[in-house]
Amino acid sequence: MFHPLRVSHLFWLAAALFPASASAAKIFYSKPSLSKQSVGLVQSKVDGYWYRGSGTVAYDPKLIVSCGHVYYDSGKWATEYTFHRAWHAKGYPRRSQGVAPRGLSYFTSYVDACRTRGSESNAAFASDFTVLYGYSSFGTAAEVWDNSATAIRSWSRYKEIVGYPSEIDYTGASGACYQHSTGWFTYGAYQLRGRYHEFDDVSTGPGNSGGAIFIYQSSTDKDLFTGVLVSGARRMAGVVALDASTRSLADSSLGAKLSSRAFRNDNPVVLPDGGESFSAVSIPVSGVSGTVSKASLGLSVDAGSGELEAYLRSPGGKIRWILKKGGSLGKPSNTLDLGESFAGVPADGEWKLFLRDARGGKLATVRSTTLTLSSASR
């Protein structure tokens, strides 16, 4: 005889199992969808072989952000490449239907350059992107959200991956040359290394390299371009989040003028007389977009008969000597040009000036320090 309690047991069992499976529901390209006008198909020829990838017009109509490995391989630059914005058709476009970028900035390292086709490591993926530029407009640029890594990792932010897979990993279907979109999903990515993140249970397909990840920003009701797809498998997608270095590169390509901001510490610091250790003066910097181009340091010191030694340290640890033993500040208040000593360094963070009064006799007091940082910005 049928026992109703067993039915309910099975029901609860199924109900318990189903949510677990539902949470493993895959995000993939279910059908072609022309979702973003700023994303396009890329065709590139490297060392005689044609490759396809994806790219996004971003920062400016004359700039495209894409992955790196479609444009440089085994020591050779791509010799032909064209961008076909918002291409959405079964077949490949003719070259004349696209716009050829003039050149590119290819992110790499000495170590990665050694490997054919780039190392398949997290560190290599983290630098696998490119900013291409052209003399003509590629189309309307997507708005960019730099430093969006936190949002990429969030499980509440809506995200969308867009690109041109030649094959849909998850289903095996052909992507032809149609644009595809995952649609909005809220999975959060895991940070693997620096700007490189991976999504579980999100998949795209080969050919999607350089594709875009957009995040919906509810405060502005905008879809913002935040990263580049650089790797993937049937159940994962790897993306590189945009940050200060891509912004700086974009700004420099566009000939952005340098703008300067000064950060000051007026707390006087009395240096131990003839001290062996250095005293640290903190100079917090915030709100500077991009990376440093030039720097200068203003110092106001009562040195007495002291002999100052000083070096400046960036938030990431790079140092530059300001004054060495036997050197002189010149005047009690002076501005020292540090030139491009810190060029390429992200500006925001805690800078530290380390000082020592190397000769005993009279106390030296640092009255104020002013760090002025110039960065390219528009």
Partner 1 sequence: MQAIRSQAFRWLGVLGLVVLTVWLVRHHRRGAEEVREHRPDHHPSHAPESARPSQAKTSSREVQDNTEPALSRRISADAGFFAGDAPAADRQARFDALRAHLLRADSAAASAAIRAYLSSGNDVVTGLAFRVGGEGALDSAPSMRVFLLDLLGSIDPPAALDLSRRVLESGNSADEYAIALRNLAWNDSGGELTGELRQGFSAMLAREDWRAEAADGFLEALDAGVLLRDEDSFSRLLDLNRSALDSGGAALSRACFIALDRIVEADPGMLEMFRRDPGLRDRLTPDQRASLLSRLDIRRAAHQAILTEYLASAQDSGELDYFAAIFPNGNRFHVNRLFSPPNPVMSIADRMEADRVVLGELGRIPLAVGSPGEKAVKVIRERLGESLERADAGK
Rounded Cα gap, residues 286 and 251, in angstroms:
19
- Residue 354 binds partner 1 (CB under 8 A): yes
Q: CB of 5: closest distance to partner 1 in angstroms?
A: 12
> x-or-dash pattern for partner 1, window 34-63, by CB under 8 A?
---------------x-xxx--------x-
Residue from 75, 91, 172, 287 in contact with partner 1 (CB under 8 A): 75
Torsion angle defined by CA atoms of residues 221, 203, 67 and 50, in that order, rounded to the nearest 10 degrees: -130
Residue from 82, 208, 300, 375 in contact with partner 1 (CB under 8 A): 208
- Residue 272 binds partner 1 (CB under 8 A): no
- Residue 28 binds partner 1 (CB under 8 A): no
Q: CB of 221: closest distance to partner 1 in angstroms?
A: 30
Among positions 292-351, residues that touch partner 1 (CB under 8 A) are 311, 313-314, 316-322, 324, 340-341, 343-346
Residue from 80, 95, 260, 337 in contact with partner 1 (CB under 8 A): 80
Neighbours of 330 (CB within 10 A): 10
E strand or H helix at 12 = helix 4-23
Q: CB of 229: closest distance to partner 1 in angstroms?
A: 6
Return the number of the residue (30 or 217) whose C-beta is nearest partner 1: 30
Return the number of the residue (92 or 184) whose C-beta is nearest partner 1: 92
User: DSSP label at 95?
Assistant: G
Among positions 105-144, residues that touch partner 1 (CB under 8 A) are 105-111, 113-118, 120-123, 127-128, 133-137
Select from 177, 189, 1, 196 the least CA-distant residue to 92. 177
Residue from 74, 97, 220, 286 in contact with partner 1 (CB under 8 A): 74
Q: CB of 63: closest distance to partner 1 in angstroms?
A: 9
- Residue 262 binds partner 1 (CB under 8 A): no
Q: How many residues does the chain have?
A: 378
Rounded Cα gap, residues 363 and 358, in angstroms:
11
Return the number of the residue (38 or 203) whose C-beta is nearest partner 1: 203
- Residue 10 binds partner 1 (CB under 8 A): yes
- Residue 269 binds partner 1 (CB under 8 A): no
Rounded Cα gap, residues 211 and 39, in angstroms:
7
Radius of gyration of the chain (CA): 27
Q: CB of 287: closest distance to partner 1 in angstroms?
A: 19
- Residue 368 binds partner 1 (CB under 8 A): no
Among positions 225-244, residues that touch partner 1 (CB under 8 A) are 229-236, 238
Torsion angle defined by CA atoms of residues 85, 87, 92 and 93, in that order, rounded to the nearest 10 degrees: -60
278-282 contacts: CB < 8 A, separation 24 or more? 278/309, 278/311, 278/354, 278/355, 278/356, 279/354, 279/355, 279/356, 280/352, 280/353, 280/354, 281/352, 281/353, 281/354, 281/355, 281/366, 281/369, 282/350, 282/351, 282/352
Return the number of the residue (287 or 326) whose C-beta is nearest partner 1: 326
Rounded Cα gap, residues 63 and 67, in angstroms:
13
Residue from 254, 329, 336, 363 in contact with partner 1 (CB under 8 A): 254
